[in-house]
């Protein structure tokens, strides 16, 4: 486990879990690639954002291109690193997934290579129903959410 990923000195916690901000993983947590599987139908952090409220009112939620996540994506991809999330989408997409889609152009402009996969296809491939990051094809960081998953 790279130093800083779980806040220790490269020691992976014995129970295999840690609480860490995703943003922290992108400062010193990987050298070449970061691949994410996003399986949730919506995220609580999104639902509590100002841009989500605009989205619910039918307004176009404009993202700040200077916000920390996007600035860091430009920094990391500018160093030649690849960030490649795959989002599992329902048919039709849920409200939370539609909201994420409105932000995709900002993420792509910052250097992320985002792909979408239908949930039926993900299930046919027996992909796990959990979100995780795979760093440099060797370190997995499974994401745990406090909120109950949307069904």
Model confidence pLDDT, tens digit, residues 74-107: 999 999 999 999 999 999 999 999 999 999 999 9
The answer for residues whose C-beta is within 8 angstroms of residue 53's C-beta and 6 or more apart is none
Report the pLDDT value the prediction gives residue 22, as an integer from 0 to 100: 53
In degrees, rounded to 5, the angle at the alpha carbon of residue 12 between the alpha carbons of residues 8 and 14 is 120
- Kindly tell me if the per-residue pLDDT of 32 is higher than 70: yes
Report the pLDDT value the prediction gives residue 126, as an integer from 0 to 100: 96
Q: Quote the pTM value.
A: 0.80
- Kindly tell me if the per-residue pLDDT of 46 is higher than 50: yes
Instruction: Round to whole Å and give the CA distance between 55 and 31.
Output: 35
Instruction: Round to whole Å and give the CA distance between 111 and 67.
Output: 14
Report the pLDDT value the prediction gives residue 27, as an integer from 0 to 100: 64
């Amino acid at each position: 486990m790279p130093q800083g990923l779980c806040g220790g000195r490269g020691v992976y916690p014995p129970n295999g879990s840690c609480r860490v901000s995703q943003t922290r993983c992108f400062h010193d947590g990987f050298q070449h690639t970061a691949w994410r599987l996003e399986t949730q139908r919506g995220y609580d952090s999104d639902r509590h954002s100002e841009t989500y409220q605009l989205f619910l009112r039918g307004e176009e939620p404009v993202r700040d291109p200077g916000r920390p996540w996007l600035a860091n994506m430009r920094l990391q991809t500018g160093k030649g690193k690849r960030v490649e999330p795959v989002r599992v989408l329902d048919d039709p997409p849920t409200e939370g997934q539609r909201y994420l889609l409105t932000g995709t152009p900002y993420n792509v402009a910052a250097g992320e290579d985002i792909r979408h996969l239908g949930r039926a296809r993900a299930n046919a491939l027996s992909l796990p129903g959990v979100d995780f990051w795979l760093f440099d094809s060797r370190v997995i960081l499974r994401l745990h959410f406090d909120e109950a998953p949307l069904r």
